[in-house]
Structure 1
Amino acid sequence: MGAIIFDAGRLLLVRRGHAPSAGLWSLPGGRVEPGESDEAAVRREVMEETGLRVAVGPLAGAVDRPGPAGVTYEIRDYFATVTGGVLSASDDAADARWCARAELTRLALSPGLLEALREWDALPP
């Protein structure tokens, strides 16, 4: 699961520090821990990767992506709004930044991210 977070017309992205998609830009997010709700997982993962606290909103969309050794990742991305904190890459994020729509086509994005954001009407203005 992941978070779609906007600020001043820009989208928050993190550069993955570890597999899957190490070195590629993606939404902040990760795995849901046992017994954890999607909402709690979004809040935890965003805080761990970016230092930001968020309020989790509605589901933007869901997609299945192939992973290593035949694993399939079920990804659910939620809209979220920053409520506090200071942007700082940490945990498994090598970098974090706000990106304007025009920048998205120039960045090395995780596979299928741009297409999913377009399909869900979740691109920055």
Structure 2
Amino acid sequence: MPRREQPRIRCAGGIVHDAEGRLLLVRRGNPPGEGLWSLPGGRVEPGETDVAAVTREIAEETGLSVTVGRVAGTVLRPAAEGVYEIHDHLCQVESGTLRAGDDATDVRWATAAILATLDRESMLTEGLVAALRSWNCLPRS
């Protein structure tokens, strides 16, 4: 019997570094990854572009307005109803005040040391550090 491919759920995320080289992280308030730290992002809504989705998600989750750049990389993650296909874009902060909002319970700028601690304590979404490392997007401070 042929194996049926699982449906792909298109998602988009933002990789944002501040002037000090720290990485923007959000603590997820809802599944998947509830309670874990990750990049801001979410599902691309019907009729929405990846750029529009990243812009919207970052504003909703962090209070920041960004300019969205090129795709740094793509990851696949299991979902209850298929597979999340997440396209992570490099972004630059334009304005706003950092605050947790929408489905984020917390938000922070993470140094390399903070990211390493969160990784050791299993407080990051699965595969985040490996993906960031392979895309050369780890915190620079």
Under a length normalisation based on structure 2, what TM-score does the superposition of the two structures give? Answer: 0.86
Aligned counterpart, 2:24: 12
Q: Residue by residue, what CA displacement relative to the aligned partner does 1:1-54 show, whole Å, maximum 9, x if unpaired?
A: 100000111000000000000000000000101000000000000000000000
Q: How does 1:41-52 map to 2 (within 5 A)?
A: 41-52=53-64
Does structure 1 residue 93 correspond to structure 2 residue 108? no
Q: Distance in 1 between matches of 2:34 and 2:139?
A: 24
Q: Distance in 2 between matches of 1:68 and 1:13?
A: 24
Structure 1 unmatched ranges of 5 or more: none
Give the letter aligned to residue 138 of structure 2: L
SS at match of 1:104: helix
The CA deviation at 1:68 is: 2.3
Q: Distance in 1 between matches of 2:107 and 2:23?
A: 11
Structure 2 unmatched ranges of 5 or more: 1-11
Q: How does 1:28-107 map to 2 (within 5 A)?
A: 28-69=40-81, 71-107=82-118
Number of aligned residues? 124
Q: Distance in 2 between matches of 1:5 and 1:35?
A: 25
Give the letter aligned to residue 61 of structure 2: E
Superposed CA RMSD in Å reads 0.8
Q: Distance in 1 between matches of 2:129 and 2:22?
A: 14
SS at match of 1:105: helix
Does structure 1 residue 3 correspond to structure 2 residue 3? no
Q: Distance in 1 between matches of 2:49 and 2:136?
A: 24
Aligned counterpart, 2:131: 116
Q: Distance in 2 between matches of 1:9 and 1:105?
A: 15
SS at match of 2:117: coil
Give the letter aligned to residue 136 of structure 2: D
